[in-house]
Amino acid sequence: MTIEYEWRGDFDNTALNALHADGFGHPVARTDWRERLERHSLGWVCARESGSLVGFINVVWDGGAHAFILDTVIAQHHQRRGVGRALVTAAAHEARAAKCEWLHVDFEEHLRPFYFDACGFKKTTGRLIAL
């Protein structure tokens, strides 16, 4: 399996919506990812195998020291093969290149081993308000 990773890689909304549906196990949505990313993101990383989108991560930021990863998704048939870790590594590299000092992530409890063990995130005292 040869996966290529590209910062701010080109994609179409149909392919990204299909990847989200596959990776998260929900129906295909009609999200306008292009518009959303152009408005809110520092950048994103696309993972492709033979030209097909198999992974994606979004990096949003505050315009200063803090970057946040969102929408990390891997096609089901590529999960647990290092694609997610490579996406996070690429996202961290690019956030560092943009002079960010911190990379944040929120995740569901079942993803703790991935983010803490595989990717090296540390526990913080951050909190959350559900809106």
Domain assignment of residue 11, yes or no = yes
Query: Of 7, 31, 4, 9, whose CA–CA distance to 20 is shortest?
Result: 31
Look at residue 107 and tell me if it is in a domain: yes
Predicted structure pTM score: 0.93
Q: Is residue 131 part of a domain?
A: no
**Number of compact structural domains in the chain:** 1
Separation CA 126–CA 114 (nearest Å): 19
In a domain, residue 124? The reply is no
- Whether 130 is in a domain gets the answer no
Q: Tell whether 102 is covered by a domain.
A: yes
On whether the CB atoms of residues 123 and 116 are closer than 8 A, the answer is: yes
Please check the confidence at residue 126 and state whether its pLDDT lies above 90: no
Domain at 86, CATH number: 3.40.630.30
| 129 located within any domain | no
Per-residue pLDDT tens digits for 46-83: 999 999 999 999 999 999 999 999 999 999 999 999 99
Question: What's the maximum distance between 2 C-alpha atoms anywhere in the chain?
Answer: 41
Look up the domain containing 22 and give its range: 4-118
β-strands 41-49, 102-105: how paired?
Answer: unpaired
pLDDT for 61: 95
* 123 inside domain: no
* Residues 80-111: tens digit of each pLDDT: 999 999 999 999 999 999 999 999 999 999 99
